[in-house]
Amino acid sequence: MVSIKNIFSSRSQEEEAFFYAVKKILGFTPQSLKWYHEAFTHRSTQAVNSEGQPQNYERLEFVGDAMLGSVIAAYLFSMVPEGNEGYLTKMRSKVVSREHLNELGRDLDLISLVKTTVPIDQFGENIHGNVFEALVGAIYLDRGYAWVQKFVQNRVIDPYVDIEKLEGKVISYKSLVIEWCQKHKKQFRFQTYEDNGVEAMKHFAVKLYIEKEVVAKARSTSKKKAEELAAKRTFYKLQEQMAPHTDQSTN
């Protein structure tokens, strides 16, 4: 006899919609939705469990970061047998860079499922990558490591990971400029200051000096972003000199 439970779902319409949305993203059926609810809950909701512990995606980010790094490390170890530890570490960093994780989260439109009391347009870019990591953590706690591997293979490695392209990808232009200057014994410094422009949001301006000459200027909403942008402009200005330094040898 077919049970009534199998005919009529005990889930509400909202829960049913969430279940199918998660299933579509995963590519397989979730077993325990509680982990996914947590993965898509922002701290602004102040949600807690029965023991009063916070229930938001921040702790799941920690688990997801470790699981994602592990799967990518195993993949690179297998695919690039000649790569030494330094090479493999740099390549993994490129795959799991904040910029790339944000791209993954945006492509999957994860933010559309996030429960928050803060307007979506007030979030910074990192919300996309944070939720993506939390989702990976939820998959691990729900289905285990093998299903994390399946998800990462289908959603990250197959569509995005190209070894040859990754070898030439720059993670941080600031680090690249600093390494190049140190290697060639060139003096450099970033002069950063608050830029009181016409925008309502605070901006910072930066000048990048190499050998006492201003090579590039930039401005952005944080010192870190302004320095990175100035370094990027420096790289393209001195590309012929600096490009060989980006080559990541596997030996």
Q: How many domains does the chain have?
A: 2
Domain that includes residue 205, residue range: 173-246
Among the listed residues 38, 133, 142, 228, the single catalytic one is 133
Task: Give the separation between CA 151 and CA 57, rounded to whole angstroms.
Answer: 18
Measured CA to CA, the distance from residue 54 to residue 17 in angstroms comes to 24
pLDDT on residue 200: 61
Does the annotation mark 65 as catalytic?
A: yes
For residue 1, the model assigns a pLDDT of: 42
Provide CB contacts within 8 A for 65, sequence distance 6+: 96, 133, 136, 137
The verdict on 100 and 132 lying in the same domain is yes
pLDDT per residue over 140-199, tens digit each? 999 999 999 999 999 999 998 888 877 777 767 888 888 888 988 999 999 988 776 666
**What is the predicted pLDDT for the residue at 5?**
43
Nearest-5° angle of CA 193, CA 197, CA 202? 65
* DSSP SS3 for 31: coil
* pLDDT at residue 134, rounded to an integer: 98
- 102 within a domain of the structure (yes/no): yes
Of 15, 51, 61, 65, the catalytic one is: 65
State whether 181 and 156 are in the same domain: no
Q: Are residues 127 and 185 located together in one domain of the fold?
A: no
Q: What is the CA radius of gyration of the chain?
A: 22
Query: Is 163 in the same domain as 201?
Result: no
- 7 in a structural domain: no
Q: For residue 81, give Cα distances in angstroms to 10, 150, 163, 247, 250.
A: 50, 22, 12, 18, 9
Mean pLDDT, each 10-residue run in order, the chain (251 residues):
45 90 96 96 90 92 97 94 89 89 94 92 89 98 97 94 78 81 90 72 87 90 86 85 54 42
The pTM for the full model equals: 0.69
Last residue of a domain, one of 167, 182, 203: 167
Return left, alpha or beta for 30; rule: phi > 0 is left, psi -120 to 50 is alpha, else beta: beta
User: Does residue 187 share a domain with residue 207?
Assistant: yes
Q: What is the CATH number of the domain that holds 232?
A: 3.30.160.20
Contact by Cβ (8 Å): 55, 41: yes
pLDDT for the residue numbered 10? 59
**Are 150 and 185 in the same domain?**
no
CA dist., res. 197 & res. 141, Å (int): 47
Q: pLDDT at position 197, please?
A: 62
The pLDDT of residue 22: 97
> Both 134 and 178 in a single domain?
no
Give the per-residue pLDDT at 247.
44
**What does the pLDDT read at residue 133?**
98
